[in-house]
Structure 1
Amino acid sequence: MAWPLSFPYPHAKDGYWEPVTSTLNWCEEDYYATPYAAEIVNTLTNLMFMWLGVQGILSCRRNGHDQIFSVALLGYLVVGTGSFFFHSTLKCKSYPMQLVDELSMIYTTCLMAYALFSYSRSTTVRIWLGISLASLAVFITLYYHYLQDPIFHQNAYALLTTVVVLRSMYTMEVTLRPKWRHSTEQDRLERQKKGLPVPTKERQHYENVRDIKMLKTMWFMVTYGLSMFLGGFLIWNLDNIFCSEIRQMRRKIGLPWGLLLEGHGWWHVMTGIGAYLYIVWGIWLRHCLNNRQDEYHLRWARFWHIPDVVRVSDLTQTKKST
């Protein structure tokens, strides 16, 4: 029996892009809403990827963030765009777009790995690191194309993401935690004995309080982002395992409530948010590594808002104008 304020699912229509020729098809039924999109929810949820990608690139240009993050956000935008066209058509001719959708954020994660591991390295190390990560991305793409086994790319993505996130956590702690970056009173006295530059007690106290506060927010962002990733991954897997049962449930409760049971769509939304949070975290961490914490501010009033790292000077001007 359908839920209140709902209506039955319509019968499948003749699709504009038919026949479906892709090697994979997800649990969402094809062409039930419009003949112009094979999987309407899986298509439209990519609009969030695309919107966040554009917003992030504009923010990088506006606030002077390092160029590598603009490239990473461009990759993020390409992922959403490719997935949009693939889910719209489900055609073999869009197989490159299918690969983009399935490989998901591997390319962007490789770019973030470069941003992390290339920091303060020599030109030679940066070149070799770039070649190595590009080779890894190509290998994962080609080997997955050969295997066509989703388990391979899921494991590769999980391993790569784990390495980058753990290393970022370590860098964050060493950079900002006072006891690790030699900002205690004892360290200050030791530097004074050696004739090294020593900040005043007031300045040291200010930096310690500032960085501890930043660490709390950063750890919340990390936890929130990982929760979105893992939650989306869980929902997607449940969608794959119990597809027939979920389709029956959708039909019983009707539209629009049945759309809430589109697991792959939730995967797009949750991984899109998680990946964007990670890129913003990387931008903020890079400014901390450059010792520019006082020049930038994380604008993130509520956890359901979209975070943005902005120049303090621009933020001050905006407040004055309002």
Structure 2
Amino acid sequence: MRSTISILHILVHAIFWYVVIDARTIVDSHSQPSDVKYFESNLDTNIGYWSPSTSSIDWCERNYVVTEYIAEFWNCISSFSMCILGTILFIRGLYNNVETRFLLSSLGFVLVGLGSAYFHGTLTHLGQMADELPMVYSMIIWGFILYRMNEFKQIKTKLFATDILVVFGIFYGLLWTYVHTLQTFVLVFQIHFTLMVLVALIKLIHLYRQPYHHVYRIKYLLIIHLVLLISAFVCWIIDQQLCEQMNNISQFNPQLHAWWHVFGAFHCHLGIVCGEAMRLLSIKHRQHQIKIFRSPQQSFKPDDHLHIVYYLGLPYIDYSKEKQTNKTKD
């Protein structure tokens, strides 16, 4: 255990210091980026508080229209929808004493929202990194949750396999941080993140197909989860492909990239709730398997172990009966 911790300590510090040292030259190399992705033939030359822009991409929304202190007003404001939903999940998770993995996922959700708001509000290279890097970190945490959904053994009893997954996730995140911070990929990042989302979605659907996860309420949430993802993706594509028409012809830009943030926020919220639901059913199924050896065999009915409540139309896992059961056992 000590050797593993030492390896992680050395790995984190080595890569971290490389990033810190190279970050000193990043400011100069990105102060006047020559290869910036725009979505209009005429470049947006509006000047504001954060000018000049140092990011490698400038979205469809016209800059500094609402206020001189926010580059892309609606894209910035809509990003806080992720912060709000993520904070609610985190607070409920603390109150219900959920596993740390879901608390980290909720915190990652919040960081993505804050980074997105910072990026769209400033259009700086640092803001772009604050937006795109937490997106990758959050997907790494989400991947760990999905691929450890049915794992119950403690780290001490299964040290090697667990540590390999954790070390790989940390190493991958730091490596991507190092490379992406220096190069600021646009297309590569978009393809990379899309693949991560698709792999996670396929894994989530595969987990639902397991008998002890096969609950109609989860199926309902998964359908909405998928619909929201498709809606967000459509908004994201149209905002880029029809940007010039919406800005010049319609006289009213519907700000579809802002809607991408909102749909994406609810999509992530439902994803985390589905993850919590499946994890709870996995734990209950495991407990049921242990009880089979002590009492007459009974079939496992997942519907009896999952309770979902709704607040303002948003679903949450109801842990009240679970907490009452734990108190009775104590």
| TM-score between both structures, scaled by the size of structure 2 | 0.70
Q: How far 1:163 moved relative to its partner?
A: 2.4
Question: In the alignment, which residue of structure 2 is the partner of 1:300?
Answer: 310
Contact 1:235 1:266 (8 Å CA) reproduced: yes
Q: What is the alpha-carbon distance in structure 1 between the residues aligned to residue 219 and residue 123 of structure 2?
A: 39
CA distance in 2, matches of 1:128, 1:315: 33
Greater RCO, 1 or 2 (C-alpha within 8 Å, sep 6+) = 1
Please say if 1:30 is aligned against 2:23: no
2:160 matches 1:130: no
SS where residue 152 of structure 2 aligns? coil
Tell me the amino acid that sits aligned with residue 16 of structure 1: Y
> What is the aligned partner in structure 1 of residue 116 from structure 2?
83
Q: Is the contact between residue 235 and residue 264 of structure 1 (CA under 8 Å) also seen in structure 2?
A: yes
State whether residues 111 and 134 of structure 2, in contact with CA within 8 Å, keep that contact through their aligned partners in structure 1: no
Cα separation, partners in 2 of 1:100 and 1:237, compared to 1, 3 Å: farther
1:300 aligned counterpart, secondary structure: strand
Equivalent residue number for residue 172 of structure 1: 208
Q: Which residue of 2 aligns with 1:106?
A: 136
> Equivalent residue for 2:81?
48
Alignment of 1:243 with 2:243, yes or no, is: yes
Deviations 1:234-262 (A, max 9, x none): 22122112211111145x24xxxx4xx11
In the alignment, residue 277 of structure 1 is paired with which amino acid? L
- Alignment gaps of 5+ in structure 1: 1-11, 178-211, 317-322
Indicate whether 1:268 and 2:261 are aligned. yes
Alignment of 1:59-98 (within 5 A): 59-92=92-125, 95=126, 97-98=127-128
> What TM-score comes out, normalization by structure 1 length?
0.72
Would the aligned equivalents of 1:13 and 1:35 in 2 still touch at CA under 8 Å?
no
Contact 1:295/1:311, CA 8 A, preserved across alignment? no
Q: How much has 1:77 moved relative to structure 2? A: 0.6
Superposition deviation, residue 149 in structure 1: 3.4
* Matching of residue 286 in structure 1 with residue 296 in structure 2: no
Distance 1:296 1:277, change over 3 A: same
Structure 2 residue 317 is matched with structure 1 residue 309: yes
Counterparts in 2 of 1:300 and 1:45: CA distance versus 1, 3 Å: same
Gaps of 5+ in 2: 1-44, 286-301, 325-330
1:175 offset after TM fit, Å?
4.0
Give the distance between the partners of 1:162 and 1:29, measured in 2 at CA: 31
Task: Describe the shift of the 1:26–1:13 C-alpha distance in structure 2 as closer, same or farther (beyond 3 A).
Answer: closer
Q: For residue 38 of structure 1, what is the amino acid of its counterpart?
A: A
SS at match of 1:308: strand
Residue of structure 2 equivalent to 1:151: 187
